[in-house]
């Protein structure tokens, strides 16, 4: 069966790592018809915007995309392509599995957790008021009237919307994910002891939803304690579900537990649409040099294959990546440095990908 998938190479190292992922998927024998479209700063001159309509249309038509990182330059006058995609497709859940692989260059060998981050609200809703703006003044006045508290002059304000609906949707997604993937426990991460209204609501909803899933264990952890726990005993964690801001921070922390951003895959899930992409950015400092680590993008492609029902191929690719990394001989410079303290002896993106394909061909 041929699967129809949109491919957005992205910018910086994007084209190199998406190309690597495509090659590995083809070598695993999965038949994909790629619909390649371009987005990002490079297309602004041609289409007048970094996210042209035909890109949106393609994703809407096929419902699934593999994407490279895209950095929207500050001051370009356009909003970030990633944010625009999130809005266009209501990509409310960001899923980032973090699993140790031998030879990944990290300090741990026992990490196997999944971060599920709420993507639509919280402090990232972008509702902010400059200290000098009328908005900040009006809010300060309201706060004064209602609570008697003085916010003081020259105080900028950011608003943190947490809704019952979005909290329920993300926690339910986490439990459904746990069930579908044979996971045993969901940990809701919050700061409800301090933010009693917002995180309090989130925690309350999480407990209610958890009661509907008696087959999955549930616990909640305060975000600071969760961070310490992740660093000291990552094996204690299984599925974590977090509001947007904590989710952003804790997913990078968790990537650090498995060898860094070059290792960490991700998916953005919406209603009827899913976009798969590495956790990291476009890494302009190493773009075009054939040195980027394509592992995160290859593993993102594995998540895409799981999504398409090609679970055997996904498992074979993951095994081939493991074999290649564990040999320790053919790793990209980021991993080489983590293992030995130096870039010496590292291989390039293309050679690493060749080794993964070679390992695939040696597997039954």
334 binds ligand ATP (CB under 6 A): yes
Distances (CA, A) of 128 to 158, 192, 229: 4, 22, 32
Distances (CA, A) of 248 to 45, 280, 318, 342: 32, 12, 25, 29
Beta bridge partners of 113: 98
Residue 262 C-beta: closest distance to ligand ATP, Å: 4
32 binds ligand ATP (CB under 6 A): no
31 is catalytic: no
Residue 137 C-beta: closest distance to ligand ATP, Å: 32
- List binders of ligand ATP among 53-82 (CB under 6 A): 69, 71
- Tally of CB atoms within 10 A around 4: 14
CB under 5 to 8 A by kind: which of Mg ion, ligand ATP, none does 215 bind? none
CB under 5 to 8 A by kind: which of Mg ion, ligand ATP, none does 21 bind? none
Residue 153 C-beta: closest distance to Mg ion, Å: 33
Phi, psi of 97 (to 5 degrees): -75, 135
Rounded Cα distance, 297 and 17, in Å: 6
CB under 5 to 8 A by kind: which of ligand ATP, Mg ion, none does 261 bind? ligand ATP
Question: Among 136, 255, 286, 302, which residue interacts with ligand ATP (rule: CB under 6 A)?
Answer: 286
124 is catalytic: yes
**Which residue number places its CB atom closest to ligand ATP?**
281
CA atoms within 13 A on the CB side of 11: 17
Beta carbon nearer to Mg ion, 129 or 276: 276
Rounded Cα distance, 348 and 325, in Å: 13
Question: Among 169, 280, 318, 322, which residue interacts with ligand ATP (rule: CB under 6 A)?
Answer: 280
191 is catalytic: yes
Q: Point out the catalytic residue in the list 130, 132, 224, 343.
A: 224
Question: Among 171, 186, 296, 339, which residue interacts with ligand ATP (rule: CB under 6 A)?
Answer: 296
248 is catalytic: yes
Residue 293 C-beta: closest distance to ligand ATP, Å: 4
Beta carbon nearer to ligand ATP, 14 or 270: 14
Distances (CA, A) of 172 to 166, 186, 205, 304, 336: 10, 10, 10, 21, 39
CB under 5 to 8 A by kind: which of ligand ATP, Mg ion, none does 267 bind? none
Distances (CA, A) of 360 to 20, 243, 313: 14, 38, 10
Q: Point out the catalytic residue in the list 191, 199, 220, 354.
A: 191
Residue 104 C-beta: closest distance to ligand ATP, Å: 13
Binding characters for Mg ion, 274-293, by CB under 5 A (x = yes): -------x------------
Phi, psi of 284 (to 5 degrees): -60, -25
Report the candidate in 63, 78, 154, 163 with the shortest Cα–Cα distance to residue 120.
163
Beta carbon nearer to ligand ATP, 45 or 285: 285
105 binds ligand ATP (CB under 6 A): no
Residue 14 C-beta: closest distance to ligand ATP, Å: 10
Residue 334 C-beta: closest distance to ligand ATP, Å: 4
- List binders of ligand ATP among 239-268 (CB under 6 A): 261-262
Report the interface residues with ligand ATP, using CB under 6 A: 13, 69, 71, 261-262, 280-283, 285-286, 292-293, 296, 334
Report the interface residues with Mg ion, using CB under 5 A: 281
Residues serving a catalytic function are: 124, 191, 224, 248
């Amino acid at each position: 069966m041929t699967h129809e998938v949109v491919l957005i190479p992205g910018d910086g190292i994007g084209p190199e790592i998406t190309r690597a992922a495509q090659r590995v998927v083809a070598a695993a024998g999965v038949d994909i018809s790629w619909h390649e479209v371009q987005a990002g700063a490079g297309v602004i001159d041609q289409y007048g915007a970094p996210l042209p309509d035909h890109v949106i249309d393609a994703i809407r038509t096929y419902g699934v995309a593999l994407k490279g990182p895209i950095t929207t330059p500050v001051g370009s006058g356009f909003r970030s392509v990633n944010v625009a995609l999130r809005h266009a497709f209501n990509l409310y859940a960001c899923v980032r599995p973090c699993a140790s692989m031998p030879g990944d260059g990290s300090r741990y060998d026992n990490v196997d957790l999944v971060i599920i981050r709420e993507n639509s609200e919280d402090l990232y809703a972008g509702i902010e008021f400059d200290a000098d703006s009328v908005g900040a003044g009006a809010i300060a006045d309201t706060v004064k009237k209602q609570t008697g508290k003085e916010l003081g002059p020259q105080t900028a304000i950011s608003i943190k919307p947490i809704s019952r609906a979005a909290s329920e949707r993300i926690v339910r997604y986490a439990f459904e994910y746990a069930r579908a993937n044979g996971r045993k426990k969901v940990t809701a991460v919050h700061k409800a002891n301090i933010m009693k209204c917002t995180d309090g609501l989130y925690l309350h909803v999480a407990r209610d939803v958890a009661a509907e899933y008696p087959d999955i264990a549930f616990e909640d952890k305060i975000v600071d304690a969760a961070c310490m726990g992740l660093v000291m005993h990552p094996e204690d964690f299984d599925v974590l579900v977090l509001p947007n801001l904590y989710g952003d921070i804790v997913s990078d922390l968790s990537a650090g537990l498995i060898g860094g951003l070059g290792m960490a895959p991700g998916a953005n899930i919406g209603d009827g649409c899913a976009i798969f992409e590495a956790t990291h950015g476009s890494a302009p400092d190493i773009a075009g040099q054939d040195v980027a680590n394509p592992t995160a993008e290859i593993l993102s492609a594995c998540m895409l294959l799981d999504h398409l029902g090609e679970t055997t191929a996904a498992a074979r690719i993951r095994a081939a990546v493991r074999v290649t990394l564990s040999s320790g001989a053919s790793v990209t410079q980021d991993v080489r440095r983590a293992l030995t303290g130096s870039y010496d002896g590292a291989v390039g993106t293309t050679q690493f990908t060749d080794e993964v394909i070679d390992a695939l061909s040696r597997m039954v």
